[in-house]
Amino acid sequence: MIFCLLPLQLFPPLGFSRRSPSGRGDWDWTPFSYPFNLTQQPACSIPAGFTEAGLPVGLQVIADSFRDDLVLRAAHAFEKVAKVNSLPPGF
């Protein structure tokens, strides 16, 4: 693997008072981060846009062990091309 792009989670962001979606534990709704945390592979999350409701969506960039440089280069390249604003449209 050179690097991999995955969604950060399966659901849009939750309200401040909720830790996980109703009826789901942490492992069910954030399955894309645990494998890379357990294998200690470099990863980062970056803003990838907004839902129709204006909530932020994240993208996770992962690379092989000890290839932090690839994660940072891929994340930087995505940010340059995607030009994701830090504020939702109309804010």
- Tell me, what's the pLDDT at 28? 66
In angstroms, rounded to a whole number, what is the distance separating the alpha carbons of residues 44 and 30? 14
Q: pTM higher than 0.85, yes or no? A: no
- Tell me, what's the pLDDT at 42? 94
Q: For every one of its 91 residues, what pLDDT tens digit does the chain have, with 9 covering 90 and above?
A: 677 888 877 777 776 676 666 666 666 667 777 788 888 999 999 988 888 888 888 899 999 999 999 999 999 999 999 888 777 767 7
- Tell me, what's the pLDDT at 84? 82
In the chain, domain spans: 3-12+26-82
In angstroms, rounded to a whole number, what is the distance separating the alpha carbons of residues 61 and 20? 22
